[in-house]
Amino acid sequence: MYQYFHGLVIREGTEDIPPEKVKKLFEDVGWSRQDLPSWQIEKFRYILENSTWAFTVWDKEQMIGMVRVVSDKVMMATIMDLIVEENYREMGIGKKLVSLCLQKLPHGDWFAHTSANNFPFYEKCGFTINNLTKNGTCVYYGYIQARKDGHRIN
């Protein structure tokens, strides 16, 4: 599926997306280093392929945004990575991507894996920011253990 948004193409699915394009977006937002070993680049292919849903945004041949979702397709879904390249922000692209995600499971419970500085954005998209002292999501960050085991530098 393709659709046009402000002269850009939004594409649903994960087929034929080079992992280097995903890696570049992760680098642009500081989630990945440029000097990764070549064998680690494949993980950027797998994060999309193993996602339940994904949308990418293209300006000609340049991928300028993406979102991926992990879901049981019945009751819950989690937005894992929502990225819009800096030069394309404030155009409504992120909100459009979240809207497309919510359409996939309109009556399900949605979660967003994000940092606190993005809470206002998600509130504009209809999410509720709960008081985490009363309830919340427990998280185990495997990258911390990887760092302790010497498999990760930063």
Query: Counting runs of H as helices and runs of E as strands, what totals does the chain give?
Result: 5, 6
Q: What is the dihedral of CA 83, 104, 111, 47, to 10 degrees?
A: -50
Q: Do 69 and 52 form a contact (C-beta atoms < 8 A)?
A: yes
| pLDDT value, residue 130 | 76
| pLDDT value, residue 137 | 64
Q: What is the pTM of this model?
A: 0.85
Where does residue 30 fall: left (phi above 0), alpha (psi -120 to 50 degrees), or beta otherwise? Answer: left
Phi, psi of 75 (to 5 degrees): -115, -30
Low-confidence ranges of the chain (pLDDT < 70): 132-140, 152-154
| pLDDT value, residue 11 | 96
